[in-house]
Amino acid sequence: MKVKAGDNVRFLNSSGGGTVVRVDGKLAYVEDEDGFEVPVMVHECVVIKDEAPKAAETVEAEVEEETYEFTEEIGDDLNPQFYIAFLQGDKPGQASGDLRVQAINDSNYFIFYTISNLRRDGDLDLFYHGTIEPNTKLALDKLAVMQLDDRQWQVNLSFYKQGKTYKNLTPISEVIKIKATRFLKENVFADNDYYHEKAVLLPVIKGEFERKLDALTDKEINKVIKEKEVKAPRKKYARRDEPSILEVDLHIDELIDTTAGMSKGDIITMQLDKFKQIMADNANKKGRKIVFIHGVGNGKLKTEVRKLLDRHYKKHQYQDASFQEYGYGATMVII
């Protein structure tokens, strides 16, 4: 039976149920009695009707006919992403309010996870554990803002696939530092690709550059900043004369004057917002070529830009821009 928004459902192989908020491909997002939005495979949902229930024999027959379907795989297998997400609760921006805590598995792997409180003596107190399916979100908890003050979460991830061969990825063990004061700041909750509402996303899987940056002390960071200030400015790309090509430089210093007070997440969010704005402004200009200059760096911005193109701009073609002009630092989109 087809599942659609507004249906009341129960879960086939686990307890619980609720009202379907929306259906996205093979996933139904079900709001339970506590207000959590729970992602569930469509075939795991049974629509509750007002009519008399079927005989037990019929129900059992239907269950036997169910076959397990995997979530559609997206992107490549070598760059999985996993986030701890915080969404505003009933009283956003207030110390007495609460936050909805969720896990995001942006990968083609099943992930077995444990999330524990890291104590000062190095021991752990287990908070959450379980398995999250590929390319899904999972509600974990609802916490008061001040419960998060000065916490460190030890997050461990193991990757696998079911029913098919897969590449062996090194398990992840990462410490996530959380401060309650962060969630009381203005504009800390930002637009993102995973929710229809603003959220704070803390990445668990970090690239080599991010790890090195996290390892730097404040003194070392200030030294790097001073050294950067005395270096020659970054090369400016010559604007092309061809009217059908629009060049857009996504480097953050081309978008704003200063990044003081901004986190790495804030910066990349602003860069991606600029990308979305340009795509919207040129949506009806068929044949228009847009070169987005994202640079090489650690590849994070390029990866996120192409992820957006694969998911939300499928009707547009894209490719590496001219190597002679941009090196590996630009993507050309053809509207």
pLDDT tens-digit readout, 298-321: 678 888 899 999 888 888 898 888
- Segment among 37-41, 171-175, 204-208, 251-255 with least mean pLDDT: 204-208
Long-range contacts of 196-201 (CB under 8 A, 24+ apart): 197/87, 197/88, 198/87, 198/88, 199/85, 199/86, 199/87, 199/88, 200/85, 200/86, 200/265, 201/83, 201/84, 201/85, 201/104, 201/265
**CA-closest candidate to residue 254, choices 274, 277, 283:** 274
Q: pLDDT-derived band of residue 109, with 50, 70 and 90 as boundaries? A: very high
- For residue 214, the model assigns a pLDDT of 61
Running DSSP on this structure, what letter comes out for residue 315? Answer: T
Residue bearing the bigger pLDDT, 11 or 189: 189
CA dihedral sign of residues 110, 112, 117, 119:
negative
User: Cα(225)–Cα(96) distance, rounded to whole angstroms?
Assistant: 38
pLDDT exceeds 60 at position 164: yes
- For residue 53, the model assigns a pLDDT of 44
CA dihedral sign of residues 305, 310, 315, 316:
positive
- For residue 105, the model assigns a pLDDT of 93
Looking at the domain that runs over 235-334, which CATH code has it been given?
3.30.1370.110
Residue bearing the bigger pLDDT, 212 or 301: 301
- For residue 297, the model assigns a pLDDT of 63
Average pLDDT over residues 127-137: 93
User: Cα(313)–Cα(84) distance, rounded to whole angstroms?
Assistant: 26
Q: What are phi and psi of 293, to 5 degrees?
A: -90, 110
Percent of the chain past pLDDT 90, that is, above it, reads: 24
User: Within 10 A of 200 (CB to CB), how many other CB atoms are there?
Assistant: 20
Residue bearing the bigger pLDDT, 244 or 289: 289
Taking the model in full, what pTM does it have? 0.46
- For residue 186, the model assigns a pLDDT of 65
Looking at the domain that runs over 81-205, which CATH code has it been given?
2.60.40.1600
Q: pLDDT-derived band of residue 4, with 50, 70 and 90 as boundaries? A: confident
Amino acid identity, residue 88? Q
Could you read off the pLDDT of 36-56 as tens digits, one per residue? 778 888 777 888 865 444 444
Domain spans of the chain?
8-65, 81-205, 235-334
Three-state SS at 28: strand
Could you read off the pLDDT of 53-107 as tens digits, one per residue? 444 443 343 433 333 334 456 666 788 999 999 998 765 544 456 889 999 999 9
- Given a contact cutoff of 8 angstroms between Cβ atoms, the answer to whether 153 and 175 are in contact is yes
What six digits make up the tokens of 2?
């087809």
Could you read off the pLDDT of 251-296 as tens digits, one per residue? 888 888 888 878 888 888 899 999 999 999 988 888 889 999 988 7
- For residue 90, the model assigns a pLDDT of 65
